[in-house]
Amino acid sequence: MIDEQEFAKRRERLAKKLSKNSVGILWSASYKTRSHDTQYPYRQDSNFYYLTGFKENNACLVFLKQDKEVKTILFVEPKDKLKELWNGKRLGTKEAKKMFHVDAVFPITDLEKKLKSSLKKSKNLYFDFALEEAKAKEIKKYAKDLDALQNIAPLVGAMRLIKSPSEIALIKQAIQITKEAHHQAMRIQKVDKKEYELQAEIEYIFKSKGAYSDAYTSIVACANGANTLHYVANDQVLADHALILIDAGCEYEYYASDITRTIPVNGKFSEAQKELYAMVLDVQLRIIAMIRPNILRSDLQKKSEKFLCQGMIQLGILEGDYKKLIKKQAHKKYYPHGIGHWMGLDVHDASPYKDDKGDEIPLKAGMVLTIEPAIYIDKDDISAPEKYRGIGIRIEDDILVTHDGFENLSFEIVKNIEEIEALFFTQQTFK
């Protein structure tokens, strides 16, 4: 878990980034309507949570910076017995002041008055430019005479690039739970079940182990469905002799995991499936081995494309000179996406890939990223060898950059062909 001292230090770091005579504002997330008068389960805004650890809605964090003095103020929903009867207990101002290391806590109803007063003494206003329109309009109404409006989100995003030990521990816990879910998907009988039944098995493990939410909508894509990158229908039959691409990860205490494994429905890879799978796995292992501080993600991308292109030539999927194929980007037909992305509070962490000068940010110790090479061959692609058509394979792990290299945080989730087959044939439990 992350303690209040760490949240307080994050606020101190952010305050130092704000200019003199400025106000910084971060809002909690709002409830999202599911249909008519029902809402989706509440999930706090990641930047707001990163700076407060506060999980309630209708809250606001304000930084007041005059010269070198900084005050942090938290506005929260006040206690109200009738509202709490319907919607659950609130922390309230008194308990929030005890819990959070801020200079003051006020009810959210005081925000407008306090904001008007503070902005009269300030020259700059920082807020999230992606803020919902109504709140952004309200803020700007009191900021007519300011020198500048500045986006606070990139400042927080840059801080989130390097994970603390407590953040890494939460990511590891999310991955441990996700490991159990993927192993369960590998070991159980699947032939003729529906994709959503397998999804249910996976997400049952998430919730039963204390991860109350998935980090993103699970992808359970059998056969040609795997060739749709963001396939989420999950409603097809798990056909005998086909592969299933499972991209599923849980969120534990707001921190994500992001794992993809591609496994056979009946527990046994065919020869053609083995050939493609072995090629993708070899590329993934080679790319992961390259990770260390000061390496550029773009270099990992280039290498992954080179290795995959060479593998496609060897398997007869592409024909011609390797350099000419790369120049024409012929391989992009079968590998159209990036090698990976930052991961943390969001599965695609909202952190920058370039610095303020536009230069790419090299890998540094404490960063967490995914590595996910793949190949996608549509069933109707007559230019590819027939035996490979309708197969999509992606293999994805979560990698921590260390001071002298890397740590594969998800190395315990089996991915070798022999391991996947052994897990099914020696440990399966029929349902």
197 — alpha (psi -120 to 50), left (phi > 0) or beta?
alpha
Q: Which of 214, 275, 372, 398 is catalytic?
A: 372
Q: Which of 50, 55, 38, 76 is nearest to 212 (CA)?
A: 55
Q: Which of 258, 346, 349, 397 is catalytic?
A: 258
Dist. CA 370–CA 127, nearest whole Å: 29
Q: Which of 231, 341, 349, 397 is catalytic?
A: 341
Q: List Cβ neighbours of 23 (8 Å cut-off, separation of 6 or more).
A: 62, 63, 64, 65, 115, 118, 119, 122, 124, 125, 126
Q: Which string of DSSP letters, residue by residue, matches 212-244?
A: -EESSPPEEEEGGGGGSTT-----SB--TT-EE
Q: Which of 230, 271, 403, 418 is catalytic?
A: 230
- Please say if 341 is a catalytic residue: yes
- Please say if 241 is a catalytic residue: no
- Please say if 183 is a catalytic residue: no
Q: Which of 77, 396, 397, 398 is catalytic?
A: 396
Q: Which of 49, 50, 126, 376 is catalytic?
A: 376
Dist. CA 74–CA 60, nearest whole Å: 6
In 46-194, beta strands by DSSP E: 60-66, 69-76, 104-107, 124-127, 148-151
Q: Which of 246, 192, 183 is nearest to 214 (CA)?
A: 246
Structural element, H or E, at residue 178 = helix 165-187
Tokens 């991308």: give the residue: 301
Q: Which of 167, 203, 247, 346 is catalytic?
A: 247
Q: Which of 286, 292, 348, 389 is catalytic?
A: 348
- Please say if 286 is a catalytic residue: no
Q: Which of 43, 286, 292, 337 is catalytic?
A: 337
- Please say if 67 is a catalytic residue: no
- Please say if 247 is a catalytic residue: yes
- Please say if 214 is a catalytic residue: no
Q: Which of 3, 36, 37, 418 is catalytic?
A: 37
DSSP assigned state of 342:
B
- Please say if 372 is a catalytic residue: yes
The residues that are catalytic are 37, 230, 247, 258, 337, 341, 348, 372, 376, 394, 396
